[in-house]
Amino acid sequence: MAMVWKAIKPKRLKIPGIRSSLRNASRRVGTTIRKDFKATVADWDHKPKFTILESSAKGMFTLVVGTDNLIYMFVNDGTKPHDIPKVPKTSGSLAFASGYSAKTAPNVIGSSPGGSYGPMVFAKQVHHPGTEPRNFSRIIQRKWKPRYKRELESALRKAVAESGHGGK
Q: Is residue 109 within 8 Å of residue 36, measured between CB atoms?
A: yes
Q: Is residue 27 within 8 Å of residue 151, measured between CB atoms?
A: no
Phi, psi for residue 94 in degrees, rounded to 5: -80, 145
Length of the chain: 168
Q: Is residue 54 within 8 Å of residue 64, measured between CB atoms?
A: yes
Tens of pLDDT along the chain (168 residues) come to 788 888 877 777 788 888 899 999 999 999 999 999 999 999 999 999 999 998 888 878 889 999 999 999 999 999 999 998 877 676 678 888 999 999 999 999 999 999 999 999 998 889 999 999 999 999 999 999 999 999 999 999 998 888 776 655
State how far the Cα of 76 lies from the Cα of 107, in Å rounded to an integer.
10
Question: Where do the H-state alpha helices sit in the chain?
Answer: 15-39, 70-77, 136-162
> What's the predicted TM-score (pTM) here?
0.82
User: What are the sequence ranges of the domains in the chain?
Assistant: 15-162
